[in-house]
A and B are shown apart, each in its own frame.
Chain A
Amino acid sequence: MTWRSPLALVRDALQGQRAREKELRSLTSNLPHEGQGRGTQPNRFFSSNAIKTTKYSLLFFIPMNLFEQFHRLANIYFVGLAILNFIPVVNAFQPEVALIPICVILSLTALKDAWEDFRRYQSDRRVNNMPCFIYSRKQKRFVERRWKDVRVGDFVKVVCNEIVPADLLLLYSSEPNGVCHIETANLDGETNLKQRTVVSGVCTTDRGFEPESFNSTVVCEKPNNNLNHFKCFVEKPNKEKLGAGIESLLLRGCTVRNTGHAVGFVVYAGHETKSMLNNGGSRSKRSKLERKLNIDVFFCVILLFTMCLVGSVGHYMWLESRTGSPPYLLPDSRSNSLASFHMFFTMIILLQILIPISLYLSIELVKIGQIFFIVNDIDLYDEETDSCMQCRALNITEDLGQIDYVFSDKTGTLTENKMVFRRCTIMGTEFPHKENAIRLAVLDEPESEEEIIFNQRPHSSQTAWSFEGEDAGPMDMHRRGQKKSKVVGTARSDVAFSSPLETEVVPDQNLVRQISRAESRGGSQRTDPYLDFFLALTICNTVVVSRATARRQRAGLSPCSSQTNNSFEALSDLVKKASLLIQRKSSRFRAQSQGPVIDSVRMESPADTNGLSPSVRPTAPAGSENLYYEAESPDEAALVHAARAYGFVLLARTPKNVSVRLPSGQVLDFEVLDVLTFDSNRKRMSVLVRHPITKECVLYTKGADFAIMELLGTPYAENLSKSHKNIASDTQRHLDGYAKEGFRTLCIAKKVVSEDEYRRWLVSRKSAQAAIEQKEQLIMDTAVQMETNLTLLGATGIEDRLQENVPDTTVALREAGIHVWVLTGDKLETAVNIGYACRLLEDEDLLISMSCKNKVTCTSSLDCNLEEMRRYSENPQNVGTIPNISLVIDGHTLAMVLSPDLQDRFVDLAKRCRTVLCCRMTPLQKSAVVKLVRDKLKVMTLAVGDGANDVNMIQAADVGVGISGQEGMQAVMASDFAISRFKHLKKLLLVHGHWCYTRLANMIIYFFYKNVAYVNLLFWYQFFCGFTGTAMIDYWLMIFFNLFFTSTPPIMFGIFDKDVSAEVLLGVPELYRTGQGKGEYNFLTFWISILDAFYQSLVGFFIPYWVYKDSDVDIFTFGTPLNTISLFTMLLHLSIEIKSWTVVHWIIMLGSVGLYFGVTLAYSAICVNCNPPSNAYWVLQSQMGDPMFYLVCTISTLVALLPRYTFHVLKNSISPSPLLQGRELDRMDPSTRDQWIREWRGFRGGGGGQVKRYQLSPPPSPTQETPVDFRPEFLNSAEATSDDFSLNVTTQRPVYT
């Protein structure tokens, strides 16, 4: 380092600050300045690529960590006390001694932090030292360096399968078209390939990229954390500006796939990269239990102050009563009142452990243990995706045991988000596909054996095509990958798009006949609505055709470029690559820019860059059966598969070309003129193609029914003129039927565009694409412009299948006293049907359907329903029962009822309903509903969802659960817990939630008890020592007692105790209710345990007191039995509370006793004069030689515990709690247990009220396989009351197939 004047340094720092803060940054190449001093580097102000995520540095660890820890109020309190102890007039202990507890706590926490930080440091170092290639001007080539050497303005080369070291502006790719594929799994968990393109116009030569010739300036925006947005332009020396966006940015942390190599210009490095800016810290929430706990800590503070006040006043009175000058009273210049005032503080120091110092640390440790067990639960592990449960929030495990309301998303959460083609209607004729329904029914039969041949990466997709109105969020995420599994019999392991469930469609014979008739009439020469319908299904999508081999290669680590001679392989791979051009999210940015190039010849291009390794490629015969379809949305794939079942096979898709094989075997190559991509405003997409035979421009459109129906122009004129009027209405009728069955509906339409019209349109289209301002709006306008006068072909019904065990889970949750609400963007009918399917709604339920046009009707309907409800509940006949009433409300109405004047009424109505379905919800409304219920009803809410549209709601709820399913990772990122299937919620809540809650609740109660009981011993002693703050127990032993002897058992209790087994908790969901509302940790239990502590301390003090009264006992000899008694009392008290003793329990309990005696004996033997004024030398030894010691300890412990023990015994015998009954069930052998559960629940269900009329089969258990009976049953009360609900009440019958 050369010396630089401080002034220059300051100036530099200021400049740097300015440069970093500027909205736009101008970056130039570093190469001209290579090897020169730092001061001349043009980009020196921007952060380097070395990252540091550690919180602390080695030098400043202690101060920084202490600073961090003192953010916790409790720590400040204890440090304050320790400092107080240094003031001579008030000190209670030797000043140093008082520091021990806080030091131990602080150092344990610091140790934990240090370890975590060290792990971060190691990971940083590993990352910083990863190799990469940076261009060096001196060596005229890319040289290997470390990640940390990368600077802004460098040129970095990344090769296939390498991780991108910094945010690179892509300037060159070895692939044709300047494409580079990246996988962003490291950033967002999406495993599909995303495509990036080079900044056009920068690299003009064919000979590869020459960094030295790069003399442009890159102007980019200030770093931000938006992964999907980037603004930048490259300014050439000739002032030409080339725009670039996110499509040209390789993000740090992504992996380059399927691309030989690429060269990029570093725009952001290190902490300024988007991935680092996205790296938020872990979430920190405060659980309900902890909020309550803090109140009780406050009570403890009051208790402490009261006790100290008693001590202070007592001391004053004691001093006043001292006449003369007794020899034991030290001369004191202070007045009695001042001395008593000081005594108050001495008492605080003496009795400080009343505020449980180690409680917070213990809770943290317990939660770590609990999370360990949750994460390691094999039942929450999903084989398919190879994913465990994730706990992202570390401190709200016990909230899982207190949930009152569950808000669930529908698509992807309750359902698989895997679409199965079920029915279609063409030209007003319905084809019910009965055979297909039968096939699916067969697949539904539960069968235990399943066989997964091999697993690959999870393959999923996104519902860009869903018409749920949920697409407002950044839904342009999707995953691709592949997983192929052979599934025998069950729907369980079907994975996206490749399972027989979805891919195989049994054709409807009628339809097959229609098609063959149509073909025979003229084949592809003429247009026929049936053929058109299927052509539309095949063409009008963005499905990518690929092959298993190609995808496996991508998942693996095969070399990226190699030659292949197999033309078919080459073709399909090329096709795949080309098709990537228009796929997915990028389609929004780019698809339009693909100008029409006329080339309807099948591609026979040499396959020199297809990236397939011969070693990987099997020599499988090339056939259409090897085709795999990868789609943005599962709906599209389902449609393509359906078309394929009828012989319309999508063979290949490129941006410019689609090949379709017709049933006759003829292959048609459609030239793609344009793709009008889907957006959530239009709710439809279109593809404009040129028919290879008729040479007509044809527009195929598919979309939501309401989006299509209003655009219909002339009906299909040619063949069916006589009934054309009815087509639309027939189709609409069929669509309504589909919706009732819970299918997702799509309308398919067509339009033949005349050449003139097309040309005219093309002009406006091009100008829209060229536009800079409001480009997206203009492009959308052109799409709308084209999509007019459509001809309706037909419609399809696609079933989004329920995830496995969803009905079972929702029923269990309901029985557990949890209200399950579904918040969906779907249509009302679909939502209702899903509601029936997952048993949220029962057959006999009354359904209040609120769908109002304006606020007035909304208000009146709300009032009316509410009135009926009130009348119902006031009716003496119905006391104690909750009517099975469900509310269905749509987003529009919801917006009205959420207004401040109506929301109270809405909440009042909703809380009387068993379930509420909200449809057509926007993400914001979802969170609004969650917040409303949470705040108005003061209940614990849980939101579960899988998509970006659920993020708001997940964050709004007390507990957010993300489903790491088909729609990317945003929901998971925002969640507190991430599961892979909805059914896991059952075990997560009913078992782990219950366990975590009862464990922690009992542990905290015990902790308070323990501290109060111990402190009271000291307090009672004050009455016999003139309130002078004497402790009869050696200070060290006192501190050890809390820190070591009695601290592990409650932690173990909090981690391992199991009040009821998982089987019983799952079998009897009602047990979950013990945790809801106030739960086990409430005002009463807290104060009972405090009273018990008082009682026990009285016993533990006064029995020895009476025994040793008037004897020659000395202080510490007196204190030793007290200490021992409280140890045994506390441990045995815990033993009464421990519900199941495993070997861990025994070890820790006996270990604690052993530790107590071991340490105390050792301490009493070693410490002769080590810490005056205590004098524990040989005290325990002498006591242990005295039979009285044992006699005193035995009786005191017994008397102390007798009430609690007796209470437990009597309560368990006279009125056993549900949990105890659950425990009784545990002891039975499985078959009798199931018998019992059934009988017990039958009893409870009949008499208990809340789970009224529960007539499901018993919960699933290993020994039972009773089929579920779905027959509707009407019960009297439902029918009797249904008449009263005249307004807006419909009684729905389920439609089950």
Chain B
Amino acid sequence: MVRIKKESPDRPDNTAFTQQRLPAWQPILSAGIVIPGFVLIGLAFIGVGVGLFITSRDIQVLEIDYTGTDQTSDCNKCTNPNTKNCVCTLSFNIDTLFKGPVFFYYGLTNYFQNHRRYGVSRDYKQLYGDLANFKDPSTDCAPYRLDSRNNPIVPCGSVANSLFNDTFKLYQIVNGQRNVVPFDGKGIAWWTDYNVKFKNPDVTPLQNAFNGTVKPLFWTKAVYELDFSDPSNNGFINQDFLVWMRRAALPNFRKLYRRIAEENYTNGLPAGNYSLEISYNYPVLSFNGRKKVVFSNVSWMGGKNDFLGIAYLVIGSLCVVMSVVMLIVYAKFKFPEDD
């Protein structure tokens, strides 16, 4: 190939960049330099750790297993899969005031909502209110896409199908009287799920949109029947449904069921005896799962978690110890430049 000669000489540019002489910061990690850093980090961590630990210790948690494996439990009667519409009652008592707002969770163990194929099995468009996907749900939903008569299932898919359907009622026993503790079911799901991600089809009445579709196989009532009383909590934007649809990360999880922050209970649950009436529907014993309810109040750091506080304390202390080690090392092996 013919090269066209350049007129200008090929002398490279003598710039800091091309000659790799850009001003540079060249930190050298040695004991002497890092001691202050270690001390600072250590102290800061200990401080944070103490704060976290105290906060976490102040959080009250009450966990009650109601699976019913225990013979003495009232729910034991419901463990028989043939029992329909079983209701059992759990009694417990609270010694001191359970500071409010109290969050009421249900918990499942050994339940793999993070199973990959389980998670895939849903149709976002359908849940977004797209009527086309009512007629023809996404293939992702298989095998919960069509029922045996080829009617489309709405909401389709495995996640929706396995919706947790135990319901709870809490009573405070005051002088033998059962006072209903009011539950607040608003805003327990993510705001974005409720307002953006999930939408009911723009059809009134809502159930008309579901003509020609069938409810999920495991369900006893259709999605538009989840909460007849409140149209803003019905259909796909039903809070319980939303909470369920947000898959848990780990096989032992809890999900927010209700908040207790109303009427006489704005300050929390006063000390006393309580009775929890459970409509026991969801089978877990077959796969060695557990069900439980959890009362917890929350702080800025969320639920109770001692681990983080302890971790901060341990690491903080470790850093302080390290700084002492560094000091020894520094004294012993002074780097020449420090002479």
A residues touching B (Cβ–Cβ < 8 Å)? 51, 53, 92, 123, 126-127, 130, 163, 186, 252-253, 275-276, 279, 322-331, 346, 372-373, 375-378, 381, 383, 386-388, 1024-1026, 1028-1030, 1032, 1056, 1058, 1062, 1103, 1105-1115, 1117-1119, 1136, 1139-1144, 1168-1169, 1172-1173, 1175, 1177-1178, 1182, 1186-1188, 1191-1192, 1195, 1198-1199, 1202, 1205-1206, 1208-1210, 1212-1214, 1216, 1220, 1223-1224, 1226-1228
Known: A1026-B112, A1173-B140. A1213 touches B128 (CB 8 A): no
Closest to A1221 in B: B336
Q: Is the CB of A1115 within 8 A of B114?
A: yes
- B84 on interface, CB distance cutoff 8 Å: no
- B228 on interface, CB distance cutoff 8 Å: no
> Which residues in chain B, 151-193, are within 8 Å of chain A measured between CB atoms?
158, 161-162, 190, 192
Q: Is the CB of A1112 within 8 A of B255?
A: yes
Q: State which of B72-80, B233-241, B243-251 sits at the interface with chain A.
A: B243-251
What residues of B have a CB within 8 angstroms of the CB of A326 in the complex? 111-112, 286-287, 289
B residues touching A (Cβ–Cβ < 8 Å)? 1-4, 9-14, 18-20, 22-32, 34, 41, 45, 48, 52, 105, 107, 111-125, 128, 138, 140, 143, 158, 161-162, 190, 192, 196-197, 218, 246-256, 283, 285-289, 300-303, 305, 307-308, 311-312, 315, 318, 322, 326, 329-330, 333, 335-337
Q: Is the CB of B23 within 8 A of A1142?
A: yes
Q: Is the CB of A1139 within 8 A of B249?
A: no
Q: Is the CB of A1136 within 8 A of B29?
A: yes
Query: In the complex the two chains form, what is the Cα distance from A347 to B337 in whole Å?
Result: 52
Smallest distance from the beta carbon of B37 to chain A beta carbons, Å? Answer: 9
What residues of B have a CB within 8 angstroms of the CB of A1175 in the complex? 197, 246
Closest to B125 in A: A1169
Known: A1198-B41, A1212-B28. A1030 touches B119 (CB 8 A): yes
Instruction: Tell me which of A388, A1172, A1173 has the highest count of chain B C-beta atoms within 10 A of its own C-beta.
Output: A1173
What residues of B have a CB within 8 angstroms of the CB of A1144 in the complex? 22
A1119-B249, A1213-B329 known, 19 other contacts, Cβ within 8 Å = A322-B287, A328-B111, A328-B162, A330-B117, A387-B10, A1030-B114, A1109-B307, A1115-B119, A1115-B247, A1141-B25, A1143-B23, A1173-B122, A1182-B190, A1205-B34, A1210-B31, A1213-B330, A1213-B335, A1223-B28, A1224-B335
Selected from A346, A372, A1173, A1212, the residue in CB contact (under 8 A) with B30 is A1212
Known: A328-B158, A1140-B26, A1192-B308. A1224 touches B336 (CB 8 A): yes
Query: In the complex the two chains form, what is the Cα distance from A1228 to B26 in whole Å?
Result: 12
Known: A381-B12, A1103-B311, A1107-B307. A1216 touches B335 (CB 8 A): yes
What residues of B have a CB within 8 angstroms of the CB of A1216 in the complex? 30, 335
Closest to B61 in A: A1110
Q: Is the CB of A1030 within 8 A of B115?
A: yes
Q: Is the CB of B119 within 8 A of A1169?
A: no
Smallest distance from the beta carbon of A827 to chain B beta carbons, Å? Answer: 38
Query: In the complex the two chains form, what is the Cα distance from A377 to B254 in whole Å?
Result: 63
Q: Is the CB of B120 within 8 A of A1025?
A: no
Q: Is the CB of B329 within 8 A of A1106?
A: no
What residues of A have a CB within 8 angstroms of the CB of B48 in the complex? 1191
Selected from A127, A1119, A1168, A1224, the residue in CB contact (under 8 A) with B196 is A1168
Selected from A123, A383, A1195, the residue in CB contact (under 8 A) with B1 is A123
Smallest distance from the beta carbon of B330 to chain A beta carbons, Å? Answer: 7
Q: Is the CB of B115 within 8 A of A1025?
A: yes
Q: Which 9 A-B pairs have the closest CB atoms?
A: A324-B286, A1118-B249, A327-B162, A326-B287, A1140-B24, A1213-B31, A1142-B22, A1169-B124, A376-B12
What residues of A have a CB within 8 angstroms of the CB of B307 in the complex? 1106-1107, 1109
Known: A1140-B25, A1144-B22, A1188-B302. A1110 touches B254 (CB 8 A): yes
Known: A1117-B249, A1214-B329. A1028 touches B116 (CB 8 A): yes
Query: In the complex the two chains form, what is the Cα distance from A514 to B20 in whole Å?
Result: 61
Known: A330-B121, A1177-B196, A1227-B26. A1213 touches B249 (CB 8 A): no
Known: A53-B1, A1107-B305, A1195-B315. A1029 touches B24 (CB 8 A): no
Selected from B158, B285, B312, the residue in CB contact (under 8 A) with A330 is B158
What residues of A have a CB within 8 angstroms of the CB of B138 in the complex? 1172
Instruction: Tell me which of A276, A1108, A1187 has the highest count of chain B C-beta atoms within 10 A of its own C-beta.
Output: A1108
Smallest distance from the beta carbon of A593 to chain B beta carbons, Å? Answer: 32
Smallest distance from the beta carbon of A1118 to chain B beta carbons, Å? Answer: 4
Q: Is the CB of B52 within 8 A of A127?
A: no
Q: Is the CB of A1109 within 8 A of B250?
A: yes
What are 13 sample pairs from A and B whose C-beta atoms fall under 8 A apart? A323-B287, A327-B161, A329-B112, A375-B12, A1028-B112, A1058-B24, A1105-B250, A1108-B250, A1112-B254, A1178-B190, A1209-B34, A1212-B30, A1214-B333
Q: Is the CB of A1191 within 8 A of B249?
A: no
Q: Is the CB of A1205 within 8 A of B305?
A: no
Smallest distance from the beta carbon of A485 to chain B beta carbons, Å? Answer: 15
What residues of B have a CB within 8 angstroms of the CB of A1113 in the complex? 248-250, 253
Smallest distance from the beta carbon of B102 to chain A beta carbons, Å? Answer: 15
Query: In the complex the two chains form, what is the Cα distance from A130 to B3 in whole Å?
Result: 12
Q: Is the CB of B111 within 8 A of A1110?
A: no
Q: Is the CB of B27 within 8 A of A1141?
A: yes
Query: In the complex the two chains form, what is the Cα distance from A1139 to B249 in whole Å?
Result: 39
What residues of A have a CB within 8 angstroms of the CB of B114 in the complex? 1024-1026, 1028, 1030, 1032, 1115
Smallest distance from the beta carbon of A453 to chain B beta carbons, Å? Answer: 16
Closest to A1103 in B: B311
What residues of A have a CB within 8 angstroms of the CB of B302 in the complex? 1111, 1186, 1188
Instruction: Tell me which of A322, A383, A1032, A1110 has the highest count of chain B C-beta atoms within 10 A of its own C-beta.
Output: A1110
Query: In the complex the two chains form, what is the Cα distance from A1081 to B227 in whole Å?
Result: 65
Query: In the complex the two chains form, what is the Cα distance from A346 to B289 in whole Å?
Result: 27
Query: In the complex the two chains form, what is the Cα distance from A1029 to B119 in whole Å?
Result: 11
Smallest distance from the beta carbon of A434 to chain B beta carbons, Å? Answer: 41
Q: Is the CB of B218 within 8 A of A327?
A: yes
What residues of B have a CB within 8 angstroms of the CB of A1212 in the complex? 28-31, 335
Q: Is the CB of A1220 within 8 A of B28?
A: yes
Query: In the complex the two chains form, what is the Cα distance from A491 to B210 in whole Å?
Result: 97
What residues of B have a CB within 8 angstroms of the CB of A1032 in the complex? 114, 249
Closest to B282 in A: A327
Selected from B14, B115, B315, B329, the residue in CB contact (under 8 A) with A1198 is B315
Smallest distance from the beta carbon of B133 to chain A beta carbons, Å? Answer: 11
Query: In the complex the two chains form, what is the Cα distance from A300 to B184 in whole Å?
Result: 53
Selected from A346, A1118, A1143, the residue in CB contact (under 8 A) with B250 is A1118
What residues of A have a CB within 8 angstroms of the CB of B2 in the complex? 127, 130, 163, 186, 252-253, 275
Query: In the complex the two chains form, what is the Cα distance from A729 to B25 in whole Å?
Result: 69
Q: Is the CB of A1025 within 8 A of B112?
A: yes
Query: In the complex the two chains form, what is the Cα distance from A328 to B287 in whole Å?
Result: 10
Query: In the complex the two chains form, what is the Cα distance from A329 to B284 in whole Å?
Result: 12
Query: In the complex the two chains form, what is the Cα distance from A1177 to B337 in whole Å?
Result: 54
Closest to B41 in A: A1198
Selected from A378, A1195, A1206, the residue in CB contact (under 8 A) with B12 is A378
Smallest distance from the beta carbon of A714 to chain B beta carbons, Å? Answer: 56
What residues of A have a CB within 8 angstroms of the CB of B247 in the complex? 1114-1115
What residues of B have a CB within 8 angstroms of the CB of A1024 in the complex? 114, 249-251
Q: Is the CB of B52 within 8 A of A1191?
A: yes
Query: In the complex the two chains form, what is the Cα distance from A171 to B29 in whole Å?
Result: 75
Known: A322-B287, A1169-B125. A1115 touches B117 (CB 8 A): no
Smallest distance from the beta carbon of A609 to chain B beta carbons, Å? Answer: 26
Known: A1030-B115, A1144-B22, A1169-B128. A1224 touches B305 (CB 8 A): no
Query: In the complex the two chains form, what is the Cα distance from A1192 to B9 in whole Å?
Result: 58
Known: A330-B121, A386-B9, A1178-B190. A1172 touches B337 (CB 8 A): no
Query: In the complex the two chains form, what is the Cα distance from A331 to B118 in whole Å?
Result: 10
What residues of B have a CB within 8 angstroms of the CB of A387 in the complex? 10
What residues of A have a CB within 8 angstroms of the CB of B254 in the complex? 1110-1112
What residues of B have a CB within 8 angstroms of the CB of A331 in the complex? 143
